[in-house]
Amino acid sequence: MDTIIKAKADSWLNSNIDEESKAAIRALSPDELADSFYKDLEFGTGGLRGVMGVGSNRMNKYTVGTATQGLANYLLKAFPNEEIKVAIAHDSRNNSNYFADITASVFSANGIFVYLFDELRPTPELSYAIRQLGCKSGVVVTASHNPREYNGYKAYWDDGAQVTPPHDKNIITEVNAISSIEEVKFTKDESMVKLINAEVDEPYLQAILDLTLAPEAVQRQADLKIVFSPIHGTGITLVPEVLKRKGFTNVTVVEEQSEPNGDFPTVVYPNPEEREAMTLALNKAAEQDADLVMATDPDADRVGIAAKNNAGEFELLNGNQAATLLIYFLLKKWKENGKIDGNQMIVKTIVTSDLLDKIAESFGVDCPNTLTGFKYIAAVIKELEGKKEFIGGGEESYGYMISDFVRDKDAIASCAMLAEMTAWAKDQGLSVFDLLAEIYEQYDFYLEALVSMTKKGMQGAEEIRQMMIDLREHTPATIAGSKVVKVIDYQSSVEKDLTTGAETPVHLDKSNVLQFFLEDGTKISARPSGTEPKIKFYISVNTPMADKGEFNNTKASLETRIETIKTALNL
């Protein structure tokens, strides 16, 4: 490995990269050199993502340029003798506009026409723009909710979804075929780049407004107290505007976090899953006695929410709970509006709450499950286009999609629909938590927890690999006193019934994910992250709840069960 690292570093030093980058390479410590060059950034579940800096394993002009050259090469092969157009957007991170310009330069230098957003825009709008503008591909420069030192690059295909097999692997093949940085065409052709903004904003916003299901409730609850924070990201560009156009008149934006800023000065991590990132919004909500708190991540594809619980305290809802509320509201209104005829579906991922499956079944709606990542949800939509009508979908990591004009998670549309759902509930005298309790009373109380273990660098990657090997080779007979009755290994595509020994194939793409199903209804999933140096454990438990007045006691009981499972697994 040391030889490989040195050879790769030397190849950069002997190339025509700028002198500043060469000096930065020479200044790296041995450990820094290893982390910077021990591998190349690859397209994972979220595309290209890494720490900014010099090296093949870092986000910089040359890795972004090489990735774009590889993508350009593949596009030219995939669409021969056709005009090829792409769209490019970027978020508020440091260097995002610079990387977006590099991307535009390389595409244009390869004879590919570029629509480039002239300032920061949310990721879902990029997805929308691809089909709206007739593009073959698209790129958004973002590292989503990662820490400030990261940046990234998500590649999209002509359906507006992130690239999936075989395109992702083919793009990687093209990128790997580039043997030197000299092969990357960096000289921009200005005639092949067009700046865009409002011509995409307006139809996108209108498409979201057209999703409205309960206009009368929104009108009656127009003064619903909403607090919103973009956490220094792109949500500021469209969320306040879409809420205003929807009819909400009492929206407060958290001023301290309203300005886009790649240093994210008011938070440790710009992640709405973290309570710390939502502290300012929660404080503002307490001041105003708000009905709903919402905060979007830097590229505004994910949204976290909070509302007052039955004790009058503002409580964060996890991604499964928010997805439950959204899907229930969508299906209930679709049914009331006579729009469900058995040809509809919602789509969720395998690590998202199975409560969504139960809700969908009760409304006569299909619920296909996919691997983690919205590109797989989009693939199901594409596969069933014309056969099944997509209503909505989501995943536990705060990503939701309503309708299919965007083929990726969409915090702009989600904020609009979450506000409408809250107004609809309030119109019936219900708070957000009252509505959640009613759902649990009807379908059972499901509670989920996520444990993320960070393992950085080359050594961390090896530790994560070994943890998955150990789980496969030493399947526990019981966990926290409950028998393990089924295991699904998505890497070998096998589902095994541990009681009978029967094995059945899993018809999803191979992925390094393991799931353990317990006799008491518990589901535990282990999955190394495709975008961060982490291994994630998803724990889902459930129990009936006879009366919504038992909400707190039932929740406490399930929380105790989750802690017992964590202890049993040394998490």
Contact 127, 161 (CB under 8 A): yes
> Are 98 and 146 contained in the same domain?
yes
What are all long-range contacts of 472-478, with beta carbons under 8 Å and residues at least 24 apart? 472/514, 475/516, 476/516
CATH code (residue 320) = 3.40.120.10
Per-residue pLDDT of the chain (571 residues; tens, 9 = 90+): 588 899 999 999 999 999 999 999 999 999 999 999 988 877 655 578 899 999 999 999 999 999 999 999 999 999 999 999 999 999 999 999 999 999 999 999 999 999 999 999 999 999 999 999 999 999 999 998 889 999 999 999 999 999 988 898 888 889 889 988 999 999 999 999 999 999 999 999 999 999 999 999 999 999 999 999 999 999 999 999 999 999 999 999 999 999 999 999 999 999 999 999 999 999 999 999 999 999 999 999 999 999 999 899 999 999 999 999 999 999 999 999 999 999 999 999 999 999 999 999 999 999 999 999 899 999 999 999 999 999 999 999 999 999 999 999 999 999 999 999 999 999 999 999 999 999 999 999 999 999 999 888 878 888 999 999 999 999 999 999 999 999 999 999 999 999 999 999 999 989 999 999 999 999 999 999 866 788 999 999 999 999 999 999 999 999 999 999 999 999 8
Diameter over CA atoms, the chain: 71
242 close to 251: Cβ distance less than 8 angstroms: no
Q: In whole angstroms, what is the distance from residue 292 CA to residue 419 CA?
A: 7
Indicate whether 247 and 142 sit together in one domain.
Answer: no
98 and 237 housed in the same domain: no
* Residues 407 and 477 occupy one common structural domain: no
CA distances 30 to 9, 27, 36, 170, Å, are: 11, 10, 10, 33
Does residue 401 share a domain with residue 264? Answer: yes
Q: Which is catalytic among the residues 21, 56, 127, 144?
A: 144
Q: Quick one: the chain helix, strand, coil %, rounded to 5?
A: 40, 20, 35
Q: What is the pTM assigned to this prediction?
A: 0.94
406 secondary structure, DSSP code: S
What's the total number of domains in the chain?
3
pLDDT of residue 46: 57
In a shared domain, residues 432 and 524: no
Cβ neighbours, 10 Å, residue 550: 16
pLDDT at 531: 66
d(CA 29, CA 38): 14
Same domain as 530, residue 478: yes
- Same domain? For 141 and 239 the reply is no
Catalytic residue list contains 144? yes
Query: Per the structure block, which two tokens stand in for 49?
Result: 């993502």
Tell me, yes or no, whether 225 and 255 share the same domain. Answer: yes
Structure tokens that stand for 508 in this block: 């999803």
Q: Which of 311, 315, 273 is nearest to 293 (CA)?
A: 315
Domain final position from 396, 427, 443: 443
**158 and 28 together in one domain:** yes
C-alpha dist (Å) from residue 46 to 109, 166, 372, 450: 26, 15, 10, 19
Q: Is 190 exposed, middle or buried (0-12, 13-18, 19+ CB in 10 A)?
A: exposed
Beta strands at 113-117 and 137-141: parallel, antiparallel or unpaired:
unpaired
State phi, psi for 339 to the nearest 5 degrees.
Answer: -105, 0
179, 196, 213 - which closes a domain: 196
What is the residue type of 503?
Answer: E
Residue 525: which domain range?
446-568
Task: Tell me whether residue 416 is exposed, middle or buried, using C-beta atoms within 10 angstroms of its C-beta: 0 to 12, 13 to 18, 19 or more.
Answer: buried
Burial 337-362 (b: 16+ CB within 10 A, else e): eeebeeebbbbbbbbbbbbbbbbbee
Beta strand spans in 215-326 (E): 226-229, 251-253, 292-296, 303-308, 314-317
- The end-to-end CA distance of the chain, in Å, is 31
Residues 418 and 471 in one domain: no
- The answer on 307 and 266 residing in a single domain is yes
Angle between helix 319-336 and 432-443 (nearest 10): 80
**For strand 113-117 and strand 85-90, is the pairing parallel, antiparallel, or unpaired?**
parallel
Domain stop point among 423, 443, 463: 443
User: The CATH number of the domain where 493 resides is what?
Assistant: 3.30.310
Total residues found in the chain within this entry: 571
Compute the chain's Rg from CA coordinates. 24
Residues 67-111 pLDDT 10s = 999 999 999 999 999 999 999 999 999 999 999 999 999 999 999
